[in-house]
Amino acid sequence: MIEVPAPAKVNLVLEVLNKRSDGYHEVRSLIQAINLCDDLYFTADSELEFVCNISNLQNPDNLVMKAAELLRTTYNCKRGAKIRLEKKIPTGAGLGGGSSDAAITLMALNKLWNLHVKREELLRLAAQLGSDVSFFLHRGMALVKSRGEQVIPLPSTPIPWFVVLSPAISEIPAKTKKLYAQLNEHHFTQGQYTSEVMQSWSIDYHIDPGKLFNVFDSVAFEIFPELERYWSMFKDAGADYIHLAGSGPSLFAPFEDQMKAGAIHRRLAAGGLRSYVVSAIAP
């Protein structure tokens, strides 16, 4: 049996440069993997079977199954596997849990089935599954370009701690598509936020938390009206810099001090909110 954790992520910077002719958006993003993880278990079997501790995720449309089927079909593999997913990352939250599960599935089944598929080929398959899947084949911190499939690995961020707030908001169908639809040319940037953070990091390996940026911060309340209350509660708990995690609705705040992060977490818990104190993880 192969047991592998599938980490979540936060977008330290997320910019949209323009809308491409293929209908996708050109993005620049700095992404950091964090130690909030799902757990995946893979056992060799004659058939392909998938089970999950959350029943409504146990279906053929789950990215785990799509990744497994894509790998089998592409390489004409006749083997099977029993795959068990223990879901711990909040679903539909902007934390990349589904994409991470898919990436781990590609890597684990490549090993379990002795396919010897090279990383470059796995990256090609990952790009077919979703924009964030390629990042999770690298993990750590990375600069991401194009529609998300171009990944340049970097050493982990010097921001060691994050508090992630998972608000109790019902999942919105086609959430990411709706958020992108709210953007116009006034929201588009030229990659300057990414460049500024990268320049600061390259000089003294320090990232000013005040320079983090997410283009969706400015339109999130239009898609998630309830989110404004959670944002205010996060701020009232003592968080100085708050951003949407990816396309949300989860929120995160960066901290250089674990004790302060823990204090914020306890204040949120006292208010009945679910949050996590997490750390950045290396590749």
Q: Contact at 8 Å (CB) between 209 and 240?
A: yes
Backbone angles phi, psi at 133, to 5 degrees: -65, -40
Q: Contact at 8 Å (CB) between 87 and 51?
A: no
* Cα dihedral sign, 93-95-100-102: positive
How far apart, in Å, do the first and last CA atoms of the chain sit? 23
Q: What is the Cα–Cα distance from 248 to 38, expressed in whole angstroms?
A: 18
Q: Give ∠ CA 6-138-279 in degrees, rounded to 5.
A: 55
Please say if 132 is a catalytic residue. Answer: yes
Q: Contact at 8 Å (CB) between 92 and 56?
A: no
User: Which residue is catalytic, options 111, 132, 145, 235?
Assistant: 132
Q: Give the alpha-carbon dihedral of 255, 207, 131, 110, to 10 degrees.
A: -80
With tokens 């497994």, the residue in question is 68
User: Which residue is catalytic, options 9, 38, 87, 101?
Assistant: 9
Q: What is the Cα–Cα distance from 106 to 115, expressed in whole angstroms?
A: 11
Please say if 9 is a catalytic residue. Answer: yes
- Residues in contact with 19: Cβ distance below 8 Å, sequence separation at least 6, in sequence order: 25, 26
Among all residues, which ones are annotated catalytic? 9, 132
